[in-house]
Structure 1
Amino acid sequence: MALAGCGQDYPQTATYNSALPAAIPGTPASLANNAAPSSGRTGGPVALLVPLTGDLAPVGQALENAAKLAFPAGGGPALDVRDTGGTAAGAASAAQAAIAAGDGIILGPLTSAEAKAVAPIAQAAQVNVLTFTNDSSVAAPGIWPLGISPDQQVARVVASAASAGRTQVAALLPDSDFGHSLATALQTEATALSEPSPSITFYQDGFPNLNQAVRTLSDFADRGQNLEAQIKAARELDTAAGREKARELQHQQIPPPAFNALFIGATNGDILAEIATLLPFYSVNQPQVQLLGPALWSAIAPALGKNHIYAGALYAAPDPASSAGFDQKYQSVYGAPPPGIADVGFDAAAIARLISGQGGYTSALLTDPAGFTGTDGVLRMLPNGQVQRGLAVFQVAPSGPVITSPAPTSLNSPSS
């Protein structure tokens, strides 16, 4: 699939498409042979469903801004922007109106709840949907969640750790929807890699709860307290031999935990600071244990690098170099840097515009096994609605994050 129009500028309407997704050369035969029958409309405007009112309006406006950069003035198709209000009911109403107006594809909505409300409406009308949520549970034929999902980031960083021999994985995760999504992703990836099932511990708000979670996860009661009990017993002998024995035991290392990689799901700086005090207290230390984290660490990696506990930790995320051109253009047009999700909005719009000139918004074109190169790197949409992405692996360092495994340029490689 070829691209046209790269490098053009459209100052009259502030549209820009110098970073349109590109088709990736090479088609995996196994995927090509499993293609589902094509569905979707072959023409019509592009519907953009975003919250322009309500609490999420600032995010919706950023998504609209990003999408407009992919549509040049005077070039088809038209962009039909509709407000969802940030609610499931609003999204369903907007989808119905867009379909009735003859729109050929839906970009959005933003949240998982909205996407689940839109899905049956769009599927019944044979209109494909590129939604902005990162909840992979909404994936279904004709419904592709383009947000960077827990599945994608976990799979990449855990596979990278496994390649270095870190195959006994534990996880310290918030007791939230995000935490449970990470847990599911960790279990799925362990199965895919034929690794032992991860040991997962959830924590609730509050330092006492976090302390108990780390203590339980570390198995300190068995690893450390037995040694402490021996020291105490030697001292209680109140003899020279007992005191000498206690001194010898104090120099004995506590055995490392049963895991050699620990995925930490916290993204709040204060909670991460508390975890940093608890890990060494319970003798969970690098390099015996490789720390791993989610893609959201990319926003706080410079601060994390100042804490020696997290130096060397790994996380998977898009390479910011991939979106540099888009970020600069968005800044120049709108006078402010784009939020992270704006990348997803731009890519969805650019893909829709691309395939509109290649035969329409059909699932056959959307699920081209070669995939696309977008502002967040390579991605491939599968017939079942799942989305594969090529992410880079970063290491937290005092001077800033360092790429230890570059993002793949094709999803045909094992490292993707």
Structure 2
Amino acid sequence: MLIAVSLRALRNFPRGLLTRLVVGGTAISLTACATTAAPPPAPPPSPPPAVVIEPEIDPTPVQEPEPVRPRGVTPRHLEGQEVVRAALLLPFSHPNSAARTEANNLLRAAELALFEHGPETLILIPKDTGGTAEGAREATRAAIDDGADLILGPLFGDAAQAAGRVARRHDIPVLSFSTNTSIAGDGVYLLSLPPEQEVARVTQYASLRGVERFAFIGPGGAYGSTVRDALSDNAEMNGGYLAAEESYVGGVEAMTSAARRLAELGFTSLEAEEALEFRASEWEPSVDAPFQAVMLPEGGTRLRTLGPLLPYHEIDPLVIRFLGTGLWNNEESRREPVLHGGWFAGPDAEANGAFIQAFEAAFGDEPSGIASHAYDGVLLAVFFANNDGVSRRALEDPEGFYGANGLFRFRSDGQIERGLAVFEVRRNGFRTIDPAPRQFEPAAF
């Protein structure tokens, strides 16, 4: 498939370097003048990554032919030089328009990283997966024929698993954008931000503030179950436990019933004087409450529907700390008064803000919530091009890397570990109450 690269977008870049894109097997070189300007202040955290509920992964391996490593496509002006080739596998022709839009966002973020940081010897090779496992296998084979040293993508878990089966026979690492943790390992790494890590970070922070008894109220299904299990596991790891849980399937009526059931554990409304006293003092976990913090893994309109139902049933946010996932990381959350004072974990605001501003300057609109993963993938390819080439050992460096969302590193099992901050929802935005780390503790894996 021929993937068109917008020349208008490339001309509008604020700064650039010699760029190498291989499109449909043809090398294209573009030259732009570099400029230097003082960076503007970082904006608040980015919108949350899209939640993709993916189908079950087929565990049946697909037999691949014996590998034959090709010489690889090389632009004429780079003949004789050591070249690093990064293939970008995305569903450009997916039947769903949202998936196609996301693919284009990821491509633009990859182009941005290449223009900003790419050396002359780094080549980016976009390939279309169509959004299917078979499409991913064919795209991976085509990328290997073009000499790819690194696979960035695919977006969906089944496609990433299929790509991994082909790539590992050639010892080529795959950096997938999927949040499906079951596909990681044996050369497949996750560049995404799984919700388990957001839950782990905010649960640990709440535990340090004295919370021992946690509750969960959220949607049924894969995402809700993932968050519920992560909350239970991390509460126990930090000396606490999951004291109550309620799930629902549906809208307002189902949410209302779940909130009512949760409140039946025993809550009473605050008197006016008590409410004033709570507002005037620093929050501390209630000794008498059935639980001291409650996780609400919703976002947008659904979060603004669920949140007020809890105080309506006497679960008061002045007494019980409301917790959230990355779905809270948007403007709608701060518009809901019930959520003010709530906590959630998210990417480093300074790093992510710089990426958002660069993307807006280049393309005229905001990046999607996961576009930064493609940016980081190209940054890793830049690192390899400037050093000793691509290897799993280099990818698993315990000191990690620093990208558009801050600090991150890969474990040997393919899982990603990110340095996240904890934010508090305020009327005028999100306040960082526990900054993201600038370096990792020694690896325990």
TM-score range (shorter-chain normalised) is 0.7 to 0.9
Consecutive unaligned residues in structure 2, runs of 5 or more: 1-13, 19-29, 40-68, 70-81, 269-286
Alignment partners' CA distance in 2, 1:310 and 1:288 = 13
Alignment partners' CA distance in 2, 1:96 and 1:282 = 57
71, 76, 92: which is aligned to 2:137? 92
Alignment partners' CA distance in 1, 2:354 and 2:190 = 24
Alignment partners' CA distance in 2, 1:392 and 1:139 = 24
Alignment partners' CA distance in 2, 1:94 and 1:291 = 44
Structure-2 residue corresponding to 1:48: 88
Alignment partners' CA distance in 2, 1:343 and 1:293 = 21
Cα-to-partner distance string for 1:312-363 (whole Å, 9 max, x where unaligned): 0000011332133332222222222222211111001111221133222111
**Is 2:232 the partner of 1:192?**
no
Post-superposition offset of 1:15: 10
Alignment partners' CA distance in 1, 2:435 and 2:294 = 22
How many residues are treated as equivalent by the alignment? 354
Cα-to-partner distance string for 1:247-303 (whole Å, 9 max, x where unaligned): xxxxxxxx964110101011132x223323321232211232110001121113xx3
Q: Which amino acid aligns with 1:391?
A: L
The answer to whether the 8 Å contact 1:156/1:316 transfers is yes
**Is 2:417 the partner of 1:388?**
yes
Structure-1 residue corresponding to 2:167: 122
Alignment partners' CA distance in 2, 1:101 and 1:116 = 20
The answer to whether the 8 Å contact 1:43/1:360 transfers is no
In structure 2, relative to structure 1, the CA distance for the partners of 1:217 and 1:121 (3 Å cut) is farther
* Partner secondary structure for residue 262 of structure 1: strand
**Is 2:311 the partner of 1:280?**
yes
377, 383, 397: which is aligned to 1:348? 377
**Is 2:90 the partner of 1:59?**
no
Consecutive unaligned residues in structure 1, runs of 5 or more: 1-6, 20-40, 225-254
The answer to whether the 8 Å contact 1:15/1:70 transfers is no
Describe how 1:237-248 pairs up with structure 2 within 5 A. Answer: none
Cα-to-partner distance string for 1:124-164 (whole Å, 9 max, x where unaligned): 32110111122222221311111111111111111111110
Structure-2 residue corresponding to 1:9: 16
In structure 2, relative to structure 1, the CA distance for the partners of 1:104 and 1:194 (3 Å cut) is same
Based on CA coordinates, which of the two structures has the bigger radius of gyration?
1
Cα-to-partner distance string for 1:172-199 (whole Å, 9 max, x where unaligned): 1211221112122213312322322453
In structure 2, relative to structure 1, the CA distance for the partners of 1:213 and 1:403 (3 Å cut) is same
* Partner secondary structure for residue 113 of structure 2: coil
In structure 2, relative to structure 1, the CA distance for the partners of 1:272 and 1:323 (3 Å cut) is closer
Alignment partners' CA distance in 2, 1:403 and 1:345 = 25
Cα-to-partner distance string for 1:207-227 (whole Å, 9 max, x where unaligned): 22112211222335x667xxx
Q: Please identify, of 82-91 and 153-162, the stretch whose mean Cα deviation from structure 2 is larger.
A: 82-91
Q: Which amino acid aligns with 1:298?
A: N
* Partner secondary structure for residue 258 of structure 1: coil
The answer to whether the 8 Å contact 2:192/2:416 transfers is no
* Partner secondary structure for residue 309 of structure 1: helix
Alignment partners' CA distance in 1, 2:119 and 2:291 = 59
Alignment partners' CA distance in 2, 1:43 and 1:307 = 51
In structure 2, relative to structure 1, the CA distance for the partners of 1:266 and 1:45 (3 Å cut) is same
The answer to whether the 8 Å contact 1:373/1:379 transfers is yes
Structure-1 residue corresponding to 2:324: 293
Q: Which amino acid aligns with 1:149?
A: P
The answer to whether the 8 Å contact 2:423/2:434 transfers is yes
Alignment partners' CA distance in 1, 2:35 and 2:229 = 37
Alignment partners' CA distance in 1, 2:365 and 2:146 = 33
Post-superposition offset of 1:392: 0.9
Q: Percent identity?
A: 30
Structure-2 residue corresponding to 1:400: 429
**Is 2:168 the partner of 1:137?**
no
Q: Please identify, of 314-323 and 360-369, the stretch whose mean Cα deviation from structure 2 is larger.
A: 314-323
* Partner secondary structure for residue 231 of structure 2: helix
The answer to whether the 8 Å contact 1:256/1:283 transfers is no
Post-superposition offset of 1:413: 8.4
Structure-2 residue corresponding to 1:376: 405
Alignment partners' CA distance in 2, 1:346 and 1:176 = 30
Alignment partners' CA distance in 2, 1:263 and 1:413 = 30
RMSD: 2.8
Alignment partners' CA distance in 2, 1:366 and 1:17 = 31
In structure 2, relative to structure 1, the CA distance for the partners of 1:214 and 1:413 (3 Å cut) is farther
Q: TM-score, normalised by structure 1?
A: 0.78
Structure-1 residue corresponding to 2:228: 183
